[in-house]
Structure 1
Amino acid sequence: MAEPLAGLVLPVSSWLRLAPHRHWLDMQGQRLLDFSKPSRVPHGFAALGDDGRLQPGAVADGTLTARMTHVHAVAMGRGLPGCAPLAAHGVASLRGALEDHDHGGWYLTPAINGKPPEESRKQAYLHAFVALAASSAHVAGVAGGRELLDTALPIWERHFWSEAEGVFRESFAADWSDEEDYRGANANMHSVEACMAVADVTGNGVWRHRALRIAERFIHTYARDAGYCLPEHYSREWGVLKDDHRDRPADALRPYGMTPGHFVEWAHLLLRLEAALLRADGHAPPWLVEDAIELFHSGMNNGWQRDGAPGLLYTIDWARRPVVHNRPHWCQAEAMTAAAALLKRTGHQRYEHWYRTIWDYIDTYMIDRQQGGWIQELDEHNHPSSTIQAGKADLYHAWQATIMPLLPLAPSLATAVTRPGS
């Protein structure tokens, strides 16, 4: 399952060449999977507290359920015991109380006695993860995975994809009326990942080229024009919403300002998209790797150790000054993943330096050897915090950080694991 070109360009001393390091990654991933298993609840998966236990009254979360389904389907493909039943539970939950059986699509929380939850808007962010989960479940052979994919793709395409704009729309009311006056980089970024996975699983290249259109608008147009600092929030007419959530700067999904962690996350998605296009079509736009390099360095220059302490902070303002100094775990995971991807793509020693530096930071500050899992958020002094999000809800970012360095840039995770060499 080695990257064919990576063996030619990786420095001789690279950690990625070392069997003990690769074993360490694998063991860290298995620790994270084991920690997450108590998050199962009747209608899906719910967030765990810092101690790894469900909180009183825990209720299934739609996005978390889709992410957990994806992760456990991929882990199932790797032959890890206990993951197949959890992936099957996720699929069943996404076909159960989390699905809107009247209008189609998915809720953020389960329906109660057949009635929609209080927050019943249909979110692009959630639906991208449902598509990702369905594709991973299908390729892994999870019962009901194919049916979930056949249900999810027409809904995702019909309601959210805007062919005229080349992006996914943001949200609607439960009955698909009342489209939100908003275009968001975050939901579209995760849609790029889902599009590539769907293309691999279905063999339909249109999804891959939709991913390219999204990247071209958000990155090769808007981010490049802003010096590779990506504005996150736009109106439907594509005006930048610079004051969006100024009163809630630490919002978990739509924070005020710009997010360096997303700069680096986009960087490795661009490299994966380049690899996917090369595998499928034999060619890819050269700007994909060029923009990936610029985005990574912009993210690290604007976000890493900006206040004297190590770690990638959450947000910056329009003058590139720190706003929320806290260090979410996912920012570190995505920075490390981007460094690994750039190292495999270019062989440049500076990415080996970053790869080691970021893993050293994660190991020192975020891996929780007392209660398990990763500490999800640290403050500017690298002490545990819950300003952005409390507890240990997320498996997806941390676990993918342990497996992506072990796999090629293309195909997508579930396909690479379940159909090696495809």
Structure 2
Amino acid sequence: MSDDTPGSPAWRAASRNDLLAFARRSVRPEGGFIWLDDTGQPDRDKGLELWINARMTYVFSLAHLAGESDALPLAEHGVAALSTLFHDDTFGGWYDEIGFDGTPVDTAKRCYGHAFVLLAAATAAAAGAEGAQALLAEAGEVHAHRFWEPTAGRCLEQLSEDWSVADAYRGANSNMHTVEAYLVAGDVTGDPQWHDRALAICERIIGIHARSHEWRIPEHYDEDWTPVPEFNHEIVADPFRPYGATPGHAFEWSRLLVQLAAAMADPKPWMIEAAEALFAQAVQDTTEDDTPGLAYTTNWHGEPVVRERFHWVIAEAVLAAEALHASSGKALYAGLASRWWSEIDDYFVDPATGSWHHELAPSMAVSARTWRGKPDAYHAFNALTLPDLPLAPSAALTIGREQ
């Protein structure tokens, strides 16, 4: 008899099947993946977003590796969109958003979207998707030579279309997803520079800045990498650059540190220490009572600012708890993972569609203050997939294989 307890392997497998069924609705016959509304219908008011298309390419690449019979064509559909629709054939790199007619809506080149292109390309290459090796080669070249800042040991945030002008803003969020992409790129290509650079980013943003801010991560910086703690204090619920600390990112960095340490022959002792400290502070700041879900942001004293509950935050929380439990064996992490899986099952999983509600109000009713619809399956798919795999190497090399 299968165990249908929320978070069990059988429960995750069934939930992953439902999620993928919903995700297939995002396929756009003319190319790429479209933003979906709450019911799974295309949101025609949204253009084609690079981050969504890269994430969905990643998801379907892993689904193919896991044995989904129809997933390879969907991964190749994504590779084709990244190689053509979003690609800047004049200056190289990828546009963040394009209209349905193929016209770029925004010509700036951003690290955030390019990190997901690298993640998708590496995973699709591991899946054997047509065109993925060429996409991986270009994505690696662009990230290494356009965004990587050797003297800072971190990545630039944004450059102009022709790469000639760098924006003064620096961000932790894009660098966090760069760490994720570099982990996978290093595993798939065997090139040690990617893991070395992932470690360099972690050493600075976590080992220096988060440590000096009581393990609440400064998200926003100026061009000299000096934290700007009051950034966006008047736009507190921004979906990508909110004011204050973002506990969901603390959970995500925690998990990435555990994975990076597992991938290293001689991991540095501070990495697991930092992973546990980030996790502990995020738990303290978001689970002060028995209210389900986890707040989006807090101020620098740990008091919630945006109390809405996002699906990606609890997905990263449960992933961090699972990773830390796998690494340490401590019952604390297993207990929190069990609590959060139950909350995911009770509140976030939408039984009508199989997808997860992307945002809930503090009352746990569906909300759209910051996010509308259900744009992609990346965070939920990771949460339903990675706990069944070893911490290293990456899922692209281990999913679907006997352990």
TM-score interval for Structure 1 and Structure 2 normalised by the shorter chain: over 0.9
Q: Which of the residues 312, 320, 327 maps onto 2:294?
A: 312
Alignment partner, residue 27 of structure 1: 14
Preserved CA contact (<8 Å) 2:262 2:391:
yes
Return the alpha-carbon distance in structure 2 between the equivalents of residues 287 and 179 of structure 1.
32
Tell whether 2:372 aligns with 1:404: no
TM normalised by structure 2 equals 0.96
Rounded to whole Å, the distance in 2 between the matches of 1:143 and 1:234 is: 39
- Contact kept, 8 Å, 2:22 with 2:353, in 1: the verdict is no
Identity in percent? 39
What is the one-letter code of the residue matched to 1:45?
F
Give the counterpart letter for 1:287 in structure 2.
Answer: W
Task: Mark the CA change 1:152 to 1:135 in structure 2 (over 3 Å): closer, same or farther.
Answer: same
Unaligned runs of 5+ residues in structure 1 are: 1-14
Normalised to the residue count of structure 1, the TM-score between the two structures is 0.91
Q: How much has 1:319 moved relative to structure 2? A: 2.5
Q: 1:44, 1:89 within 8 Å by CA — same for their partners in 2?
A: yes
Q: Is the 8 A contact 1:336 1:358 kept in 2?
A: yes
CA distance in 1, matches of 2:311, 2:120: 22
Query: Residue 128 of structure 1 is aligned with which of 107, 112, 115?
Result: 115
2:15 touches 2:354 (CA, 8 Å); kept in 1?
Answer: no
Provide the C-alpha distance between the structure 2 equivalents of 1:207 and 1:257, rounded to a whole number of angstroms: 29
Distance 1:400 1:254 in 2: 23
Does residue 275 of structure 2 align to residue 287 of structure 1? no
Pairing of 1:109-124 with structure 2 (within 5 A) = 109-110=97-98, 117-124=104-111
Distance in 1, Cα, partners of 2:244 & 2:305: 8
SS at match of 1:339: helix
Match of 1:7 in 2: none
Superposition map of 1:131-150 within 5 A: 131-150=118-137
Which has the higher mean CA deviation after the structures are superposed, 240-249 or 183-192?
Answer: 240-249
Amino acid at match of 1:189: M
Query: Contact between 1:51 and 1:372, CA under 8 Å: does it hold in 2?
Result: no
Aligned to 1:84: 72
Contact 2:7 2:341 in 1 (8 A): no
- 1:253 and 1:325 mapped to 2: Cα distance? 16
Where do residues 272-283 of structure 1 align in structure 2 (5 Å cutoff)? Answer: 272-277=259-264, 282-283=265-266
- Taking a change above 3 Å as real, the CA distance of residues 257 and 90 of structure 1, as seen in their structure-2 partners, is same
2:230 paired residue among 235, 243, 255: 243
- Aligned equivalent of 1:302, options 262, 265, 285: 285
Deviations 1:53-107 (A, max 9, x none): 1123553211100000011001101110221111000000001120000000001
Worse-matched range after superposition: 312-321 or 196-205 = 312-321
Give the whole-Å Cα distance in 1 for the aligned partners of 2:61 and 2:89.
Answer: 24
* Structure 2 unaligned regions, length at least 5: none
Partners of 2:67 and 2:400 within 8 A in 1: no
Matched ranges for 1:44-123 at <5 A: 44-56=32-44, 58-110=46-98, 117-123=104-110
SS in 2 for 1:323: strand
**Amino acid in the other structure paired with 2:47:** V
Give the letter aligned to residue 350 of structure 2. D
Letter in 1 for 2:204: R
Shift in alpha-carbon separation, 1:392–1:114, aligned structure 2, 3 A: closer
Partner residue in 2 for 1:213 = 200
- The alpha-carbon distance between structure 1 residues 305 and 34, as it changes in their structure 2 partners (threshold 3 A), is farther
* CA-to-aligned-CA distance 1:195-226 (integer Å, 9 cap, x gap): 01000111101110100000000111110111
Q: Tell me if structure 2 keeps the 8 A contact 1:52–1:372.
A: no
> 1:394: how far off?
2.2
Going from structure 1 to structure 2, the CA distance change for 1:20 and 1:113 (only over 3 Å counts) comes to closer
Paired residues of 1:43 and 1:60 also in contact (CA < 8 A) = no
| Structure 1 residues 183-194: aligned runs within 5 Å | 183-194=170-181
